[in-house]
Structure 1
Amino acid sequence: MSQSTPTRPDYFYIELLRAVAAIAVVIIHVLGPYRDLLDVIPAFDWLSAVSLNVASRWAVPIFIMITGALMLSDTRPFNLRYFLARRVSKVLIPFLIWSIFYAFLAGATLHGTELTYDFAPVWPLLENLPSKATWYHLGFYYYFIPLYLLIPFLTPWVQKLSDDQLRMLVLGWLTLTLLYLLRVKSAWMIDAVMYGGYLVLGYALIRLPIAQEYRTALVFAAGMALLSSVYGIWEQSNITGQYTTGRLTSYKTLNTAVVAATVFMLAYYYGSAVTGRWKTLVRFIGRYSLGLYLLHPVVLWPIRQLNFAPEPALLTIPLMAGIVTTLTLLLVWIMSRFKATAWLVPA
Structure 2
Amino acid sequence: MRKINQKEHYFYIDILRILACLCVIYMQCNRIADPYTDTSVYRQRMFVETIAYWAVPVFFMISGATLFDYRERYQTGAYFKKRFLKTGLPFITWTLINLVLKVALGQMEFRPSLSGMIDLFTNTTAEQVYWFFIPLFMMYLCIPVLSLLKDYKQILAYMTAMAFLAYSVYPVCCTFLGISFN
| TM-score class, shorter | 0.7 to 0.9
Alpha-carbon distance change, 145 to 34 in structure 1, aligned in 2, over 3 angstroms: closer
Tell whether the 8 Å contact from 1:24 to 1:59 is kept in structure 2 after alignment: yes
Partner secondary structure for residue 145 of structure 2: helix
For residue 76 of structure 1, the aligned residue among 54, 72, 78 is 72
Give the AA of the match of 2:122: S
8 Å Cα contact 2:69/2:147 also seen in 1: yes
Q: Are residues 14 and 153 of structure 1, via their aligned partners in 2, closer, same or farther at CA, if it must alter by over 3 Å? A: same
1:99 aligned partner: 95
How far is 1:102 from its partner?
2.5
Q: Distance in 2 between matches of 1:180 and 1:54?
A: 24
Change (3 A) 1:183 1:28: farther
Which residue in the other structure is 2:172 paired with?
A: 182
Q: 1:89 aligns with which of 62, 85, 90?
A: 85
Asked if residue 151 in structure 1 is aligned to residue 135 in structure 2, the reply is no
- 2:120 paired residue among 129, 140, 144: 129
Residue of structure 1 equivalent to 2:8 = 9
For 1:24 and 1:48, locate their aligned partners in 2 and report how far apart those are by CA, in whole Å: 15
Unaligned runs of 5+ in 1: 1-7, 108-116, 191-347
Distance in structure 1 (CA, Å) of the matches to 2:111 and 2:20 = 31
CA distance, structure 2, for counterparts of residue 105 and residue 23 of structure 1 = 28
What is the RMSD computed on CA atoms of the aligned residues? 3.2
Query: Are 1:72 and 1:154, in contact at CA under 8 Å, matched by a contact in 2?
Result: yes
* Pair 81,177 (structure 1): closer, same or farther in 2 beyond 3 Å: closer
| Gap runs ≥5 in structure 2 | 1-6, 176-180
Name the SS of the counterpart of 2:121 in structure 1.
coil
Q: How many residues align?
A: 166
Following superposition, the deviation at residue 180 of structure 1 comes to 4.9
| Corresponding residue number in structure 2 for 1:118 | 105
Q: Tell me which of the two structures has the higher relative contact order, counting C-alpha pairs closer than 8 angstroms and 6 or more residues apart.
A: 1
Alpha-carbon spacing, 1:169–1:120, altered in 2? closer, same or farther (3 Å): closer
Residue 174 and residue 131 in structure 1: after superposition, are their counterparts in 2 closer, same or farther (change >3 A)?
closer
Letter in 1 for 2:48: L
**Which aligned segments of 4 or more residues in structure 1 are displaced greater than 4 angstroms?**
124-127, 164-169
- Separation in 2, partners of 1:34, 1:100: 25
The SS at the match of 2:53 is coil
For the 8 Å contact 1:104–1:122, the answer to whether it is kept is no
The aligned residue for residue 244 of structure 1 is none
Corresponding residue number in structure 2 for 1:23: 22
Q: TM-score, normalization: structure 1? A: 0.41
**Contact 2:32-2:45 at 8 Å conserved across structures:** no
Q: In structure 2, what residue type is equivalent to 1:24?
A: C
Identity %: 20
